Amino acid sequence: MSLPPRRIMAIWLARLAVDRWRHAEGCKCGEGADAEPVALIGETAHGLRIDAVNDTGLMAGARPGMMLADARAVCAALRAVASDPAGDLAFLERLALWAQRWGPWTALDPPDGLLVDVSALAHLFGGEAQLLGDVEARMAVRELSVRTAIAPTAGAAWALAHYGPEQAILEPGDEATLAALPVAALRLDPEVLLVLRRLGLKRIGEVTGIGRDAFKRRFRKRVPSANPLLRLDQLLGRLPEPLLPVVAVPPALVQRRLLEPIRHRELLDRVVADLAADMAHELESRGEGARRLDLGLWRVDGDVVLRSLELAAATRNPAHIARLFAAKLDDIDAGFGIELVRMRAAWAEPLALAQADLDAGAEDHRTSLATCLDRLTVRLGPNAVRRPVLHASHIPERAQRWQAPLAPEPPSQEQLMFHARPLKLLDRAEKIAVLYATPDGHPRQFRWRGGLHEVVRVEGPERISPEWWREKGTARLRDYYRIEDSLGRRYWIYRLGLIGDGRGGAPEWFLQGLCG
Amino acid sequence: MGLSAFPTAGELSSLGAHAPRWRPGLPREHWGATFSELFASGREGSGAAAALALALDGFGGEEERAVLWVQDAAALRLTGRPYRPGLPAALRRRVIHVVAPKAEDALFALEEAARCRDFAGAIGEIAGNPKALDFTASRRLALAAEKYGVPLFLVRLDAARELSAARMRWQVRAAPSPPPRWNGQAPGRAAWHAELFRARGYRPGEWILDDGAKLSARPSILRQAQDERGSGRAGEGREFPHIRSA
């Protein structure tokens, strides 16, 4: 008994980026915001480049791959919107899961395609032509423009979807019809296509017409996208091309349906503690720890109260989770009662099983860092507990950024040793009134917050220029001085601008940092 | 158990005089795991800087755990945020900063830090005399610090010296810095005038703290002058001539 022939369906979302942008704008094709020429642009090393253009823009002359400035020269009214490749990919992943309605085995074909294995199941839809019709109709309902094809191999299906007739179906043994397709249908890199074009090879049939040895000598790379022979073999089914399936991983979810709706806090705490224990079991069986937990409370009147919790490190300690949620349940209005409580681990990370501390009880109940940070975060809010990290900038207040305490530190150049910096920086530099300045330029006496300071010792100036690539042309430079006053108090002050720099009036003085 | 085990009245009355003097570099078990208060002005960075210096002095060399730095909103407004390039090099990678909207939250954060085994210590900054920070609150912190062995330093900005259970209470202000080696006109490394006005187990005293490679202390000039004049407790001045930690 022989297996039925393999059948692969390729779905090409030809205008994925534009379609997604249109969904976000909430307009139909050619209406509303889509009536004007719009280009989705991405940043490259050479400037802004167009990734995708809507129909109006195409008619006006803009093309994907153009620089934005060139396109503006053709069509001055072109509106530029940032493209979102990561969002497109995430959408494609969700779409691949949804596409499992046509076949149990779907794979991504980034950036804008899907491959579905439809071997031996087209009869469920009434035949392959009806299957393709169903795909187009359902995609049209979602306002996605697609091109589809079914062929015995993934390569052939891809080629037909991109370069073949609409809704093409290739029966096994009909591979000769592929010879008329352009060589670009082989899924090759642009450089390889350029070489083929220079060799005068335009159709797939012309490639097969030349001896294999000649190709083997010229294209030695083992990567399929750089080697026309490998691609040709994949197209004709001589080389296997496995499809990596998309598998949905449902988040860990536990729930309690309550026979009697609860209206009291103690009972709710009890239920949450039980749910936390269930969740710990569930996560343990998966070898995971939760980073974000959502707690949904369904009330009798149909209202849903949601509380979510973000944890500093992956954990599945039920007592810890219950305690953190307890701090968030104080303002719950139970109404006529809560009948369903559901806990979901929306974000989980791998967490191996660990040996429990045998003398944990004797360890005087001291907490770990992650537990302590979770407690602080739940009470004070996520932005209250942070860690300073260096950032590449010359401007002092931009040279430091804040991030979550347990996040890995970004790579940075270490601070220069000869830069003396203050221990603390005011959130906003405060203006000081200079009463008497020396001829050198630094103040001798100044007034800050109503008190008089007599400067005794000075080091400076350290000149810090504005970052011209970021700031406006009128931004003024700063001359920083480290000073000590007559009582030994040490400050970091700066003068904004120079006399006669043409960027405003007389320079002003600010106090920005307090030294130790 | 005989009465001889207890100190006599005479010994009790002169207990303070025999108490040891504080000096930098004391072993951690002597004073490290305690709750200290530092009173400082909100117009200078001396309070937090001296607290950091005292904390580092207490940690010893091979401490690698994080340090929690808690500020309430008023303290943040007065003296600004910690600035990583200016922090002591040993602490730059280890500071975790907490902004507490109110003094209650700052006290909560300090107590949680004391209960955590992964913190080497915690520094709090609270401005003024908030109602939440009463004797009970300070006693809670002192007990937590001693029970879990995590040193806590609470900087009180522009605050009055109210009743407190802190084991060491300092008054800190900036002192003129020692002249740097190369540029006599420039401000030098940090120095503070620190007065230990109440301490359990130590005699009160005044020092000029000097934050070099290690914290060092010398008696304040005012105190020296007093001692040289022979007024008050003249004999004590010679007990602590220019202590430098080894």
Q: Which fold does the domain A12-85 belong to in CATH? A: MutS, DNA mismatch repair protein, domain I (3.40.1170)
d(CA A425, CA A493): 11
Q: Which of A27-36, A361-370, A474-483 has the lowest mean pLDDT?
A: A361-370
- The predicted model gives A364-369 an average pLDDT of 77
Question: How sure is the predictor about A387, in pLDDT bands with cuts at 50, 70 and 90?
Answer: very high
- The predicted model gives B166-171 an average pLDDT of 92
Question: How sure is the predictor about A154, in pLDDT bands with cuts at 50, 70 and 90?
Answer: very high
CATH superfamily of B26-220: P-loop containing nucleotide triphosphate hydrolases (3.40.50.300)
- The predicted model gives B91-100 an average pLDDT of 93
Question: How sure is the predictor about B241, in pLDDT bands with cuts at 50, 70 and 90?
Answer: very low
- The predicted model gives A145-169 an average pLDDT of 92
Contact residues on chain B for A386, CB-CB shorter than 8 A: 96-97
Contact residues on chain B for A459, CB-CB shorter than 8 A: 183, 185-187
* B210 → chain A, closest CA residue: A516
**How many angstroms away from the CA of A107 is the closest CA of chain B?**
44
pLDDT for the residue numbered B27 = 67
What proportion of chain A, given as a percentage, has pLDDT over 90? 60
pLDDT of B33 over the 50 cut: yes
| Mode of pairing for the β-strands spanning B95-100 and B66-72 | parallel
pLDDT for the residue numbered A446 = 93
Its pTM stands at 0.72
Reading the block at residue A80, the tokens are: 């530029």
A residues 362-391 lying closer than 8 A (beta carbon) to B: 363-369, 371-373, 375-376, 379-380, 383-390
**How many angstroms away from the CA of B54 is the closest CA of chain A?**
13
pLDDT for the residue numbered B3 = 65
CB contact under 8 A, A380 and B87: no
d(CA B167, CA A31): 74
CB contact under 8 A, B116 and A371: yes
CATH 3.40.50.1100 fits A253-353+366-374, yes or no: no
d(CA A116, CA A102): 7
Q: Which is nearest to B114 in space by CA: A372, A317, A363?
A: A372
pLDDT for the residue numbered B240 = 42
Question: How sure is the predictor about B222, in pLDDT bands with cuts at 50, 70 and 90?
Answer: low
pLDDT of B226 over the 60 cut: no
Per-residue pLDDT reduced to its tens digit, A261-272: 999 999 999 999
pLDDT for the residue numbered B223 = 57
Per-residue pLDDT reduced to its tens digit, A133-146: 999 999 999 999 99
pLDDT of A95 over the 80 cut: yes
Q: Where are the domains of chain A?
A: 12-85, 88-236, 253-353+366-374, 424-514
**How many angstroms away from the CA of B213 is the closest CA of chain A?**
15
Question: How sure is the predictor about A295, in pLDDT bands with cuts at 50, 70 and 90?
Answer: very high
B residues 109-168 lying closer than 8 A (beta carbon) to A: 109, 112-113, 115-119, 147-148
CA pseudo-torsion sign A184, A190, A192, A196: positive
Reading the block at residue A231, the tokens are: 């691609």
- The predicted model gives B180-206 an average pLDDT of 89
CB neighbour list of residue B39: distance below 8 Å, 6 or more residues apart = B47, B156, B159, B161, B169, B170, B171, B172
Identity at B119, one-letter amino acid code = F
Contact residues on chain B for A442, CB-CB shorter than 8 A: none
- Among the partner-chain residues B99, B147, B175, the one whose CB lies closest to the CB of A384 is B99
Question: How sure is the predictor about B17, in pLDDT bands with cuts at 50, 70 and 90?
Answer: low
More confident residue, A474 or B125: B125
pLDDT for the residue numbered A460 = 82
Tell me the three-class secondary structure of A193-260, residue by residue: HHHHHHCCCCEHHHHHCCCHHHHHHHCCCCCHHHCHHHHHHHHHCCCCCCCCECCCCCCCEEEEEEEE
Q: Is A325 in a helix, a strand, or coil?
A: helix
d(CA A207, CA A190): 17
CB contact under 8 A, A516 and B86: yes
**For chain A, counts of helices (H) and of strands (E):** 13, 20
* A409 → chain B, closest CA residue: B93
pLDDT for the residue numbered B16 = 60
- The predicted model gives B192-200 an average pLDDT of 91
- Rounded mean pLDDT of chain B? 83
The number of residues in chain A equals 516
CB contact under 8 A, B87 and A423: yes
pLDDT for the residue numbered A363 = 55
Whether residue B87 lies within 8 A of chain A, CB to CB, comes out as yes
**Residue whose tokens read 């053709």:** A74
pLDDT for the residue numbered B231 = 43
d(CA B18, CA B26): 17
Per-residue pLDDT reduced to its tens digit, A405-417: 999 988 888 777 7
Per-residue pLDDT reduced to its tens digit, A14-24: 999 999 999 99
B residues 159-218 lying closer than 8 A (beta carbon) to A: 173-177, 183, 185-187, 190-191, 193, 211
d(CA A223, CA A187): 12
d(CA A105, CA A115): 8
- The predicted model gives A280-307 an average pLDDT of 93
Reading the block at residue A57, the tokens are: 């823009």
Identity at A350, one-letter amino acid code = P
- Rounded mean pLDDT of chain A? 90
pLDDT for the residue numbered A173 = 81
Q: Is A117 in a helix, a strand, or coil?
A: strand
pLDDT for the residue numbered A404 = 92
| Mode of pairing for the β-strands spanning A38-44 and B35-40 | unpaired
Cα A298 vs. chain centroid, distance in angstroms? 32
CB contact under 8 A, A423 and B187: no
- Write the DSSP string, chain B: --GGGSPPHHHHHTHHHHSPBP-TT--HHHHTSSEEEEEE-TTSSHHHHHHHHHHHHHH-S---SEEEEEEEHHHHHHH-EE-GGGS-TTTTTTEEEEEESSHHHHHHHHHHHHHBTTEEEEEEEEES--TTSSHHHHHHHHHHHHHHT--EEEEEET--------SEEEEEEE-PPPPPSS-TTS--S-EEEEEEEEESSSB-EEEEEEESSSEEEEE-HHHHHHHHHT-SSGGGGGGSSS----
Whether residue B49 lies within 8 A of chain A, CB to CB, comes out as yes
Q: Is A27 exposed, middle or buried (0-12, 13-18, 19+ CB in 10 A)?
A: middle
Question: How sure is the predictor about B236, in pLDDT bands with cuts at 50, 70 and 90?
Answer: very low
Q: Which is nearest to A398 in space by CA: A406, A390, A408, A409?
A: A390
- The predicted model gives B66-90 an average pLDDT of 93
**Residue whose tokens read 């010893």:** B60
d(CA B52, CA B214): 12
Q: Are A148 and A127 in contact (CB under 8 A)?
A: no
Contact residues on chain B for A426, CB-CB shorter than 8 A: 79-81
Per-residue pLDDT reduced to its tens digit, A331-361: 888 889 999 999 999 999 998 887 766 555 4
d(CA A390, CA A409): 9
pLDDT of B20 over the 90 cut: no
Question: How sure is the predictor about B63, in pLDDT bands with cuts at 50, 70 and 90?
Answer: confident
Whether residue A429 lies within 8 A of chain B, CB to CB, comes out as no
Q: Which of A211-215, A273-277, A436-440, A459-463 has the lowest mean pLDDT?
A: A436-440
Q: Are B84 and A426 in contact (CB under 8 A)?
A: no
Per-residue pLDDT reduced to its tens digit, A172-223: 888 888 889 999 999 999 999 999 999 898 998 888 888 888 888 888 888 8
Strand spans (E) along A2-78: 8-13, 38-44, 47-53
Q: Which of A314-323, A419-428, B201-210, B214-223 has the lowest mean pLDDT?
A: B214-223
- Among the partner-chain residues A379, A425, A457, the one whose CB lies closest to the CB of B81 is A425
Reading the block at residue B90, the tokens are: 């040993």
Reading the block at residue B196, the tokens are: 């230990």
pLDDT for the residue numbered A476 = 92
Helices (H), A15-106: 16-25, 55-60, 68-74, 85-98
Q: Tell me what ipTM this predicted complex has.
A: 0.84
Question: How sure is the predictor about B11, in pLDDT bands with cuts at 50, 70 and 90?
Answer: low
d(CA A251, CA A294): 11
CB contact under 8 A, A422 and B45: yes
pLDDT for the residue numbered B235 = 39
Q: What angle do CA A485, A451, B127 make, to 5 degrees?
A: 100
CB neighbour list of residue A368: distance below 8 Å, 6 or more residues apart = B116, B117, B118
CB contact under 8 A, B80 and A385: no
**How many angstroms away from the CA of A312 is the closest CA of chain B?**
13
- The predicted model gives A292-318 an average pLDDT of 92
Whether residue A450 lies within 8 A of chain B, CB to CB, comes out as no
pLDDT for the residue numbered B243 = 42
- The predicted model gives A221-226 an average pLDDT of 86
